[in-house]
Amino acid sequence: MDRRVMPVATILLLLAGCTSTRQQSSAGFVPPAGTYKLIVMRPDIAVSLVTAGGQLEQREDWTLQARDNVLASLRSQQARRGGTTQIALTRAEAGSDDATIIELNQLHEVVGQSIMLHKFSPGSALPSKKGKFDWTLGALATQYGGQSGYDYALFLFARDSFSSSGRAALQAVGVLGCMVGFCYIPQGGIQQAFASLVDLKTGDVVWFNFLTSDLGDIRTTEGANTMVAQLLNPMGQDPKKKSKD
């Protein structure tokens, strides 16, 4: 059951995979340097099976394996950046009460989804935010920063999915249909993730990167390393493509 393994060579050619990332940052942003203290929040990970009918069924075993791989990759990636960094393997290690950490992660998901919609979706830009990157986790983030003593928080949200054998069969039928003039290929699995750097003194999201791919597999060490590198290595670099909104 893999979104990238199809039964015939033709499907591999027609459904060739690709990966794209798009980042945004606040005006004047420079990556943290010096003696900063950074908390890497426990990543929000879920890995699912795409059924023949197109429904997502989360797999707990896949999710746990992927989370372990992503945490290990984050630990290695952040060790090369300097500063004092804490990787929160559990909510308890994040330096606050459980309820606050849960609420903070949920708020980050909502804000991250809003950024993806209003900064990256054509025709969805908010007039009040046109031409600038202005998003925040607000007082909850600044309160957390005051309690924990951290300067920055790094959040990561990822969803990965893989086609069942039944879904792959439908995709194969769709490809064959394209050959005779009726072309409809059901979507298979996809990987989507975003990462945010939050300044805990202001609560602002100062840097954000969004990834979408039909390649890779975060259930594997290599796949997790690739996703984390694609998401986080561009921090502080000029994006190849700048948003027009």
Whether 244 is covered by a domain: the verdict is no
Dist CA 217 CA 4 (whole Å): 10
Residue 104 has pLDDT above 60, yes or no: yes
Task: Read off the pLDDT of residues 26-47 as tens digits, 9 standing for 90 and up.
Answer: 988 999 888 899 999 999 999 9
Q: Is a pLDDT exceeding 50 seen at residue 146?
A: yes
Does residue 56 form part of some domain? yes
**245 assigned to some structural domain:** no
Question: Would 243 be classed as within a structural domain?
Answer: no
Q: Which residue has the higher pLDDT, 195 or 13?
A: 195
Radius of gyration of the chain (CA): 19
Is residue 4 in a domain? Answer: no
Quick one: what percent of the chain has pLDDT higher than 90? 44
241 falls within a domain: no
Count up the domains in the chain and report the number: 1
CA distances from 15 to 49, 52, 146, 190 (A): 19, 18, 49, 12
Q: How confident is the model at residue 161 (pLDDT cuts 50, 70, 90)?
A: confident
120-130 confidence digits (pLDDT tens):
877 777 888 87
Average pLDDT over residues 176-180: 47
d(CA 239, CA 234): 8
In this prediction the pTM is 0.79
- Average pLDDT taken over every residue of the chain: 80
Q: Give domain status of residue 237, yes or no.
A: no
Range of the domain at 63: 9-232
Does some domain include residue 58?
Answer: yes
The pLDDT of residue 6: 39
